[in-house]
A and B are shown apart, each in its own frame.
Chain A
């Protein structure tokens, strides 16, 4: 028989405001096995924890029930308290009478009744609890960073600086990400390439960092400290270790009309290409969709001109298996497609562009060598209209836009508008906005300078329609403050497209069993207190894959993620979760149902000898659980038809006892 102590927490007025805590502790005092029942204002405080410790010693408790907040909040706290008093930490049960009771009920009588029922269920469970001892597993001291933008670069550099090896996997032929495409950066207007490319070089030269460019992660198995990852290195048809990056092949290739994705299709590249001058690694890549040699065996010019002999048309995709202790998702973002926003005539006129296209148009290495021109005919634009929130904060049009604020657009639009007025004072620049949101160090000052010193015309209101007419763009908009309709003949319209997570994030989340929100941003373990960790152990989040972020914020988060990874890799052993599946071999009939449903590959089958009642021996095939791999999800216990599979700490009979206690 257990000797159970019950501790009811008031949580200030959070619980005590709707639950009669005295009545709860009185009622639970008479439950089977309960020898002590108390309540206290803040059970999680030092004094509250001491109360529990003293009671364990004084009443020789073998199990405790804490009626308090969600176990996600303080289960770990109370387990530590119990362990400090010499009790096995898995003899602690939490009855959640805050989130699942006091916060959702208004009436004291019903709240109290429900709290008592929840407490009874927890007592019934503790009566059947058994002490559990967690196993230990080693930590592979190598980290994987998925995504080579500024987020991934910063995370990798910080981890490498602490002395741990890191691999970066990047789908593009070069690292650098979106930041490499930007011209200037707000609010200090330093050039993006000038501050990014030295970091890219640092990555290339750091002996702790390996870059897998033009590669993707295809499979992830294992668990925190022990991930087994398969990386697909796509064939680039160029030997990376031999190519010198001289670029001669990219000048001689006869396929001249391949849209250049780095300049967002505003100019062309060759079928063999280096995305930009400062690419890392600076090696050429052949685009198999456009290469004549790869498509029909005719050409071979690049191989002829390559002095190093780096071209290899027969190169195959390569699969690399590697072990990692921690994985960082840094998959970044993309602007949304403007296909569904034809009121702005994006598909109808070349002079309607997105803000990222504007970045390339004003970049010295861009398609117009940094001269701001209308893409349709190369003329200098005299009137430019910037439209903010295109697809952002779009609650009423969720089928085409996003409900959230994309966060970076107000500032980059202010930057674009200011730089345009600075370089071309003869241009008229309008910015249409719903709100201008500029929280951030020196951000609002920056926006005010654009509006007040540079004479950018900020107009509160949205653009209703852009019509290409007579070679110009007729912009119809509302000025909400003046209550007027405006008609502007513009040369260039720039759309601040909403941003969304990269499409690779969703399949990656599935491989990692990491959770995502409805917008496909990775979910953090706690929105305030654990913002760079995924709820899945060993998985960390860096940059815009977790939510829209500007560069300063991305770099901060990237460093924070690195610190968490370093903290993990610095450990030699990890304590596992003892609440894992366990198969009763006498009942197992070897049907494989559990093996099929296990998402972690933790179950294997072994042949075992059993002694039968007639004293013969028989070899039977039975399930065996790898406790280090099992995450305790319980899928197998549901799938098992013979009831052989059970979860330690959540055994079927414990759950039934809880249900019985509730229904009694």
Chain B
């Protein structure tokens, strides 16, 4: 199986682990991930100002590339996934936005035909957690692992359509498939404070510490996340337990780390 893969800039710099282990694990599961030629930064944030299209054009180009190859566009970074999925949704549903973008990219035309998936959705819906389980060589048995979703991965639910943002299970199900023990704790879907880290570092620190304390309090030995900003923020603010990317855990269990 071949999929289109949009790594995003952070995965080329700060989050190389997230990227490397995602590729290696995909190969072990029989999935080849192909990058679009000359992809550009997703913009980092899906701006809600309706007249802002420039920052969304790189997402549109990646989507068009996936459409032309008839492949699913897979992302692994929470932020890239959010921006690209929201852009695709806007291209499908917001006529004015779509026509402005199409004027810009003419003579080409795009109306949201490509399918966007987070890497976790690829594992769950295309490969299947049961198949992943079969490929496990180093079971994570005995490890108490807390899934951290953050604010961005599942929201807004009406667009992401990935899992219930108030009571999710997709990462817990993956942890269970890999043989680990998923620890459910109340703060797993709350914000780490990442977006206010520069403006109000104290508030960000309080948020991060609340999250990590909640996980540790529930008995977790480590936290896994899909978001580079979450990982950076939780670690910088002194998490008492290690924070790793879920792809690293996956690679470890599949024996490709």
Could you list which residues of chain A lie within 8 angstroms of chain B, going by C-beta atoms? Answer: 340-343, 345, 347-348, 399, 465, 467-470, 474
Contacts and interface: CB of A to CB of B under 8 A. Distances in A.
A507 B167 CA distance: 33
Contact of B186 (A340, A347, A469): A469
Contacts of B187: 467
A467 B186 contact: yes
Nearest to A344: B166
Nearest to B190: A465
B176 interface: no
A126 B187 CA distance: 73
Nearest to A399: B158
Contact of B166 (A343, A399, A468): A343
Contacts of B186: 345, 465, 467-469, 474
Given A399-B158, A469-B214, A348 B167 contact: yes
A167 to B, nearest CB: 44
9 contacts: A342-B164, A342-B166, A345-B167, A399-B158, A467-B186, A467-B187, A469-B214, A469-B217, A474-B186
Interface in B175-202: 186-187, 190
A465 B190 CA distance: 10
Given A348-B167, A465-B186, A467-B187, 18 more contacts: A340-B164, A341-B166, A342-B164, A342-B166, A342-B167, A343-B166, A345-B167, A345-B186, A347-B167, A399-B158, A465-B190, A467-B186, A467-B214, A468-B186, A469-B186, A469-B217, A470-B217, A474-B186
Contacts, number: 22
Nearest 4 pairs of A and B residues by beta carbon:
A467-B186, A342-B167, A342-B166, A343-B166
* Most chain A beta-carbon contacts within 10 A, residue among B166, B187, B190, B217: B166
Interface in B134-173: 158, 164, 166-167
A340 B190 CA distance: 17
Contacts of B214: 467, 469
Contacts of A474: 186
Contacts of A465: 186, 190
Interface residues of B, number: 9
A468 B187 CA distance: 10
B202 to A, nearest CB: 14
Which applies to chain B's interface (DSSP): helix, strand, loop or mixed? helix
A343 to B, nearest CB: 4
B35 to A, nearest CB: 35
Nearest to A473: B186
A476 to B, nearest CB: 9
Nearest to A398: B158
Interface in B210-232: 214, 217
Contacts of B164: 340, 342
B220 to A, nearest CB: 14
A399 to B, nearest CB: 6
A341 B187 CA distance: 16
Contacts of A467: 186-187, 214
Nearest to B186: A467
A627 to B, nearest CB: 50
A468 B217 CA distance: 12
A348 B167 CA distance: 9
A345 B189 CA distance: 13
Nearest to A476: B190
A519 B214 CA distance: 40
Contacts of A469: 186, 214, 217
Nearest to A468: B186
A347 B166 CA distance: 11
Interface in B69-121: none
A474 B186 CA distance: 9
A255 B217 CA distance: 41
Contacts of A399: 158
Contacts of A343: 166
B246 to A, nearest CB: 22
Contacts of B166: 341-343
A489 to B, nearest CB: 13
A484 to B, nearest CB: 14
A343 B155 CA distance: 13
A95 to B, nearest CB: 37
A194 B167 CA distance: 41
Nearest to A466: B186
A341 B186 CA distance: 14
Contacts of A340: 164
A424 to B, nearest CB: 27
Contacts of A342: 164, 166-167
A342 B169 CA distance: 12
Nearest to B218: A469
A486 to B, nearest CB: 15
B108 to A, nearest CB: 33
A347 B190 CA distance: 18
A352 to B, nearest CB: 12
Contacts of B167: 342, 345, 347-348
Contacts of B158: 399
Nearest to B164: A342
B20 to A, nearest CB: 34
B19 to A, nearest CB: 32
B93 to A, nearest CB: 14
Nearest to B166: A342
B182 to A, nearest CB: 14
Contacts of A468: 186
* Most chain A beta-carbon contacts within 10 A, residue among B158, B167, B190: B167
A347 to B, nearest CB: 6
A468 B164 CA distance: 18
A342 B190 CA distance: 13
Contacts of A348: 167
A510 to B, nearest CB: 29
Nearest to A400: B157
A512 B186 CA distance: 48
A468 B184 CA distance: 11
A345 B188 CA distance: 13
Nearest to B157: A399
A341 B158 CA distance: 14
A465 B158 CA distance: 19
A467 B213 CA distance: 14
A465 B166 CA distance: 9
A399 B166 CA distance: 14
A385 to B, nearest CB: 15
Contacts of B190: 465
B167 to A, nearest CB: 4
A347 B233 CA distance: 30
A189 to B, nearest CB: 36
A467 B186 CA distance: 5
Contacts of A347: 167
Nearest to A464: B190
Interface in B14-66: none
A468 B188 CA distance: 13
A165 to B, nearest CB: 51
* Most chain A beta-carbon contacts within 10 A, residue among B158, B186, B214: B186
B154 to A, nearest CB: 12
A159 B190 CA distance: 57
A467 B214 CA distance: 10
A465 B186 CA distance: 9
A469 B166 CA distance: 16
A576 B164 CA distance: 55
A469 B216 CA distance: 12
B49 to A, nearest CB: 19
A604 B217 CA distance: 75
